[in-house]
A and B are shown apart, each in its own frame.
Chain A
Amino acid sequence: MATPTVADGIRVCYLYGVVRADRQPLLDGIAGVGGTPVSIVESGSVAAVVGDVAREDLAPPTAEPDDATWLERAVLAHEHVLEQCLEPGPVLPMRFATTLRESDDVLALLRERETEFSTSLERLRGRREWGVKARLRSSEALLRRVRMARADLAATEAGLENRSAGAAYLARKRLDQEIGRAGDDLIARLVNGAHERLAAAADDSRLMTSAQPRKERIFLNAAYLVAEAGEQDFRETLDALGAEHAEVGLDYELTGPWPAYNFVADEAQL
């Protein structure tokens, strides 16, 4: 697969995020995309976190199109800078590879949208994004639970022994389908309830979709915006869910705190 090269020496202004002018992060020694230093462009009550980046740091090397380490390095750098911004206060994370020509353009952007940016920053103040995934460890425990809960299915299963091989085969197939459906229903009910309880312990929530290929075992993938004062409550809710749902094989994974990527979408169409 041939990909065009952009090794043309052109440098651009990479925009990581926007912070409050009075809550600026410490950026000394922080390496941004392409290992470049990170700096601040300030205007009024808001400040942009930017870097001077080569175009080629945002594109794959032509030699090996299957090598994704360039992207991995760049996204990790983007995240690293934003996590540094999270320390002193809220940050509006920009989408990956948001680039402008020069810092004067950043200044113009800040002037034009200062009100919107500061309103969004105010909404995120004292709140952090957490990610929760519920994954089914194996379907064994779940199906055992379904057989226990559904006496009718268990009875049908027991009755299979008395039937002829052909009839038993078809009945078994139908039964397995029905058990599978009942399992799906049970999981859906459990994770919907989990999401409701987590959302109640958070200020805001979003269901997410994942690019992950093996997502068939992921039954809940959500982001929650949680006030720092409510973090303990949120974690306790999650721990309780984990304990309750362990017997059906559901594991809950917590990630974060993240820059509030999922809670700035309303600002996307400024």
Chain B
Amino acid sequence: MTAIVPSAEEQRRRELAQQVTLVELLDRILDKGVVISGEITLAVAGIDLVEVGLQALIASVDRLERMRPDTADG
């Protein structure tokens, strides 16, 4: 049986597509949606902690975006 291994290029393309969708998701999930305010909610994660992860995540998306063939001429 032959396993079909995606080429590095194909893998990178898939990864990029996922990361770009992740950006779409982050733009919605962290910034939009119903906010329940008041004493009933807990400041569990803390915005600061989410920010730390967000910076790292955006940096990784940015690295992938730079490899995008479409935008390489910029």
Which residues of A are interface residues toward B (Cβ below 8 A)?
1, 3-4, 6, 12, 15, 17-18, 55, 58-60, 65-68, 70-72, 75-76, 78-79, 92-101, 105, 108-109, 131, 135, 137-140, 208-214, 216-217, 221, 223, 251, 255, 258-259, 261-262, 264-265, 267-270
Which residues of B are interface residues toward A (Cβ below 8 A)?
21-37, 40-42, 44-46, 49-50, 52-62, 65-66, 70-71, 73-74
With the chains together, A97 CA to B65 CA distance in Å? 27
A4, A78, A212: most-surrounded residue (chain B CB, <10 A): A212
B45 lies within 8 A of A97 (CB):
yes
With the chains together, A155 CA to B66 CA distance in Å? 36
Chain A residues closer than 8 Å to B65, beta-carbon distance:
212-214
Nearest CB in chain B to that of A14: its residue = B44
Chain A residues closer than 8 Å to B73, beta-carbon distance:
138-140
With the chains together, A140 CA to B72 CA distance in Å? 12
The 8 Å CB contact of B53, one of A60, A209, A214, is A60
Nearest CB in chain A to that of B36: its residue = A98
Q: Would you call the interface of chain B mostly helix, strand, loop, or mixed?
A: helix
B23, B31, B32, B35: most-surrounded residue (chain A CB, <10 A): B32
Q: What is the minimal beta-carbon distance from A54 to any residue of chain B, in angstroms?
A: 10
B45 lies within 8 A of A58 (CB):
yes
Nearest CB in chain B to that of A256: its residue = B24
With the chains together, A139 CA to B44 CA distance in Å? 45
B23, B33, B45: most-surrounded residue (chain A CB, <10 A): B33
A68 lies within 8 A of B56 (CB):
yes
With the chains together, A221 CA to B58 CA distance in Å? 17
What are 25 sample pairs from A and B whose C-beta atoms fall under 8 A apart?
Answer: A12-B42, A55-B44, A60-B49, A68-B55, A72-B22, A75-B25, A76-B22, A94-B34, A95-B29, A95-B33, A96-B29, A96-B33, A96-B50, A98-B34, A99-B42, A138-B70, A138-B73, A209-B31, A211-B54, A212-B58, A213-B59, A261-B29, A261-B33, A265-B32, A270-B37
